[in-house]
Amino acid sequence: MVEISVLEQVESFYSSAWDKLILCGLIVFVLLGVALPAIFYAVNVKLFKAKQSEKFHQLKLETLAEIRNENREELAQVKQDFYNKSKALKSMALHLEGNALIKEQKIEQASLNYLDAIKGYLHGKDYVNFRLLINTLIDKCLPKLDKLLLATIFRRMDTTEEQYFLELKKIDRTEYARQEIAELRIQMESVKPVAVKK
């Protein structure tokens, strides 16, 4: 009976140990087979979300920068257009004032206004008034001026005849008004020399 009792204890010990081994194996299997992949999955999901969030943030910044650049370019164009149109409007006022001065026979002041207005019309791309004014200057003013008066007019404009025409060429980037500028220059070069008083 002692032997049976010892055998029962040994069997009970091994049975209990076997159950504990199965239980431990099951726990290890659950930990390694289910919990560990779940933990890896959760970590990967967080890393993926962090990367996506970073990419989204970067894309958002790039898009905002692109929009700002486009707006900056559009704003610069609007400013340039406004500047050009304001130059053309100022030129209209100078043109009208010059017309009134012509009627009063104040040719020197009218020529000064016309020369300023020509630049403004060219800035504003108002080629119709630009051509009209060049023709008016050639027909009504230049025949009544001499080289000395012309030089005085350019001095009053803080420029020289040469600098004035260089500036016109610089303004006319498309060379749309090149022919009229050349005609005006030829006509100015043919202005009579200084009148000799008797």
The answer to whether 125 touches 80, Cβ cutoff 8 Å, is no
pLDDT tens-digit map of 102-152 = 999 999 999 999 999 999 999 888 889 999 999 999 999 999 998 999 999
Q: Is the pLDDT of residue 83 over 90?
A: no
Q: Residue 146 in 3-state DSSP?
A: strand
Residue 60 has pLDDT above 80, yes or no: yes
Given a contact cutoff of 8 angstroms between Cβ atoms, the answer to whether 129 and 121 are in contact is yes
Query: Which one is predicted more confidently, 10 or 46?
Result: 46
Structure tokens given for 8: 């029962």
47 residue type, one letter: L
- pLDDT of 23 strictly over 50: yes
**Mean pLDDT of all residues in 93-103:** 93
pLDDT of 36 > 80? The answer is no
Q: What percent of the chain has pLDDT over 70?
A: 96
| pLDDT top residue among 116 and 25 | 116
Q: In whole angstroms, give the CA distance from residue 168 to residue 151.
A: 17
Q: Measured between alpha carbons, how far is 159 from 163 in angstroms, rounded to an integer?
A: 6
- Tell me how far CA of residue 107 lies from CA of 3, 6, 81, 115, 184, in angstroms: 144, 140, 32, 12, 17
Angle, CA of 139, 119 and 172, to the nearest 5°: 105
pLDDT, residue 197, reads 52
Give the CA distances from residue 109 to residues 20, 99, 168, in Å, rounded to whole numbers and listed in that order: 115, 10, 20
Alpha-carbon gap, residue 94 to 137, rounded angstroms = 13
Global pTM?
Answer: 0.62
- With tokens 């400013």, the residue in question is 79
Q: Mean pLDDT: which of 26-30, 33-37, 120-124 is highest?
A: 120-124
